[in-house]
Structure 1
Amino acid sequence: MQRLEKACIQIVEKLSSPRLNPDEKAEPQKKPAARQEKLLPMYHQVAIQIADLHDTPGRMEEMSFITAYLWEDDKAMVERLTEQIREDSIDNTVFDNIHCLQREHVLQVRSLIQDNPQVAMDSIVHITQHMTPSQRSEVSRILANMDT
């Protein structure tokens, strides 16, 4: 701060002046600390922002430190990795954790739908818009049989 902030620079120059007597130095000696205390939150914020911007994936890829791997079909990749995990060991901890996370997400969705019935309707409409006609007719048949 003493190098960059004009008020701090002026205070330091005033304190280093040989013409000041010890009584006159006592007052300005408190000013740099007070000024730095006032500016510290702003400097801290700027430092955090610079650090956050420094190592973002986009920036790292731009600087050729990393290469982005984008799969066209994420679901297929997850299924492939899941199959590899299953092949390695029947009692695989990673597979158990994935299973627990999937169950947790289902419970969260169920809770969301119970608390907000409109979300359920919106979701059903969205899902059916992305189905083939044969899939929609199958869903209609299943829903019709649920009432009986």
Structure 2
Amino acid sequence: MNKSIRTRLSLQTRVMNLLLVSLLASSTILLLSTKVAAQSVAAQRERPTRMVSFRRVFVRSKSLLVRGAVVEDKLLKRPEFKELGFVITRDESDADIILELRHDLLTKYVFSVVDVKTQTVIAGGKLSSLGGTVAGKVAKRFVKEMARTNLD
């Protein structure tokens, strides 16, 4: 009888251990799936607020010597451009700001920054192509002027 009781207890212990392991496994799976779902919901909530804070810039170059794509490249290489919340758009109708570049006289270039909603010039300047690339200088001045207008 002792042997049958021991066998029964051993069987019950094994069943209890199996149930405990399966309970722990299912709890872990449930916990992980809940955590992943919560992170997904949190990420979806954050995305729209980030997208709203971006200001879209369209680069229009009326110069034959300096293409808009080159200015875009120089802007994207400047860390301040992204820090200020700017992104490049290729769709002019989607832009919040238009950066326009024109060739003036010989080595002189003029740039203007226009707010699309109000059609006001919010920044601008004249620069020379001597001593560096025009696109690089435009990108540097754009970031500098926009940082100044953000602080005011």
Which structure: greater strand fraction? 2
Normalised by the length of structure 2, the TM-score is 0.26
